[in-house]
Chain A
Amino acid sequence: MMMRFKIRSQSLLQSYLPARLTARLLLPLCLATACTGTTPPHNDVTLLAPRPFGYVIGDTIRHRLIIDTHNGVQLQRNSLPKLGPINYWLDLTDLTVNAQPRNGGFHYEIDLLYQVFYAPLEVKMLSIPSFNLPLAQGSNTATQTVPAWHFTVSPLRELAVRKDNGGDYMRPDTPAPFLDNTVLLQGLLLSTLTVLASAAYLAYLYGYVPGFPKRSLFKQTGKKLVKLTDAQIGEALSLFHQALNTLNGTPVFQAGLTEFYRQHPPYRLAEEPLATFFQMSNQHFFADGIANPIGALHALRQLCNLCLAIERGQR
C-alpha cells in the first residue's frame, strides 16, 4: 500500500487563495506491500487548506482531507482526532467524514474545523499539529501522518494597552437586541387578508354587496313581503313569482317545476312549500281565491326565508 501525499492551498472558501503549495510526497506503507506481494496500490491523500496568514484570535480554519483508497483499504474513523481542545490555544470544533465507494476503494472527504485562541504580541507563526490517519485493509493496519500546517496569527491591538476615549480598555457591552416581529407582521397581514376575503365573499353571498343583486333575490323579496298586509296577498304572490322567474331566467310554472329543480338542485329542499305556493297562486289568480289569506301570507314569508337560506348556501 503506497500513499501519495499532496498539500494544496485551495479555495475551499471564497477568502482562500488559489495558490497551490508544493509538497508532494510518496510514502510507502510496507505493511500492505508485504501482504499483496504485487505492485502496491496507491492511496492518494490531499490536504486542502486556506491561506496560511492573516488570522486573529477566535478565527476558524477549515481543512479538508481528500483520500482515495484502493483495494478495499478503509479509514478507521474511531481513531480520527476527537472534538475539543487540541492544545491550550487550538480547538477542533467540527469534524465530518463523507465516504463513497469508488473503483474498488473509497473516496473520503474529511472536513476539520479548527478555532484559534492565541493572542500574539506580534505576528507569529503557529502550526496546527500533525496527526495520524489510521487505515486498514482487512486485518492489516497502517497509518499515514498528516503533516503540521503552519500559519501566522496577528494581534488585534498594539502591544502597549491604552484606554480608549471613554477611558476603558475594552469593547463595551453588547446591548440586548430588540425582539423581531417580522414574522408576526407577515402572519398578521396574511390572516387579515384571509378575514377580509372570507368576510367579503360571505357578504356577497348574503347580498350585502351593492351592485350584486343576484345574490339577494329572496332577501329583497322578503323585505317587501314583510311590508305587505293580508289584503295584498295577490301582490305578495306576484313578488315571489317574480323572484323565481329572475332566478330561473325564464318564467317558472307549476308544470315546469321538474325542470326548475334540475336547473337549481338545492331548491329541492323547498319542493313541498313551492308546490303549495303554486296551488295558492292558481287558486288566487285562476279560481275563487285563497280560503285562508292570513295563513297564506305567513306561509309565503316562511317559503321566502327558506329560499333565502338556500340562496346563501346556509341550507
Chain B
Amino acid sequence: MIRPLTHKLLIGVLLISGGVMAAQLGALLSIAHSNGLIADFNAGHTNKLSGFGTAAPEVRLAQAVSWQKQRRYEEALACLNGLLDTPDPALQATVRYNLGNLYLAQAVAKTEAAAFNDAIPLASLAKQAYRQALALDSHYWDAKYNLEVAMRLLPEMARINSEDDRPFNQTSQLWTTVPGFPRGLP
C-alpha cells in the first residue's frame, strides 16, 4: 500500500514539474520569437524592433547590423554602444568587431573623399574596437583581417626599431601621416 507521504510527494512532483514545463515552454516560445526577429533582421528586413530595451542582446545586435547595412550609422552606433557590457564574451567580441566595422567603413569613405581629418579618428576608433574584439577572442580571423586593413589605412606612428620598442613610449606619438591604402609595390 502506498503511504500517504508518497502520494503527496507524487502530487507535488507532478505540480512542480508541470509548472517548470510550462515555464520552459514559455521561454522556448520567447526564444523562437527572438530568433524569428534575428532572421528577419539578418535577411535585411527594415522593421523597427518594438520593446527594444527588453529585447535579448542578440536581437539588438541583429537590429544594429541591419542599420549598419542601411548606412544608418548613428542608430547602429547607439545600439552597439548599448551592448558593450554584454556579459557573454563571444557576443561582446562580435559587438566590438561590428563596432570596428562601423568606424572603419566610415573612415574608408572619408579617406576616399579626401576628408583625412575626419578619417583619422574614425580609423583610430576602429583599430581600438578590433583590438578589444581580439583581446576577447584571439582566433577572430575577420577581426584580425580588418584590423590589418585599418592599420594599412592608418599605420601606427611608431616604427619597429630599438628606440621605439621601449615600453610605453606611444604617448608621445603624433599623427604624422595621411591615411590611405598602398596602391602597389614600391
Partners in one complex: yes
Q: Is A170 within 8 A of B21, CB to CB?
A: no
Q: A89-B156, A170-B146, A315-B4 are in contact. Are A192 and B21 (CB under 8 A)?
A: yes
> What mask results when residues 116 to 148 of chain B are scored 1 for a CB within 8 Å of chain A, else 0?
000000000000000100110010101111111
CB neighbours (8 Å) of B165 from chain A are 87, 127, 129
* A195 partner, pick from B21, B164, B168, B169, beta carbons under 8 A: B21
Tell yes or no: B1 within 8 A of A by CB: yes
- Shortest A40–chain B CB gap in Å is 32
Q: Is A57 within 8 A of B21, CB to CB?
A: no
Q: Is B138 within 8 A of A115, CB to CB?
A: yes
CB neighbours (8 Å) of B48 from chain A are none
Q: Which residue of B lies closest to A118 (CB)?
A: B160
Q: Is A87 within 8 A of B164, CB to CB?
A: yes
* A155 partner, pick from B61, B105, B148, beta carbons under 8 A: B148
* B148 partner, pick from A57, A85, A179, A311, beta carbons under 8 A: A57
Q: Is A266 within 8 A of B146, CB to CB?
A: no
Q: Is B7 within 8 A of A312, CB to CB?
A: yes
Count of interface residues, chain B, beta-carbon cutoff 8 Å: 75
Tell yes or no: B91 within 8 A of A by CB: yes
In the complex the two chains form, what is the Cα distance from A124 to B148 in whole Å? Answer: 14
Q: Is B41 within 8 A of A159, CB to CB?
A: no
CB neighbours (8 Å) of B97 from chain A are 173-174
Interface residues on A, range: 35 or more
CB neighbours (8 Å) of A174 from chain B are 65, 94, 97-98, 142
Tell yes or no: A99 within 8 A of B by CB: no
In the complex the two chains form, what is the Cα distance from A185 to B20 in whole Å? Answer: 12
* B144 partner, pick from A87, A156, A169, beta carbons under 8 A: A156
Tell yes or no: B25 within 8 A of A by CB: yes
Q: A129-B167, A198-B10, A264-B1 are in contact. Are A119 and B147 (CB under 8 A)?
A: yes
Tell yes or no: A126 within 8 A of B by CB: yes
Q: Is B2 within 8 A of A312, CB to CB?
A: yes
Q: Is B151 within 8 A of A57, CB to CB?
A: yes
8 smallest CB-CB distances across A and B, nearest first, come from: A313-B2, A313-B7, A119-B151, A176-B62, A161-B181, A194-B17, A176-B61, A171-B142
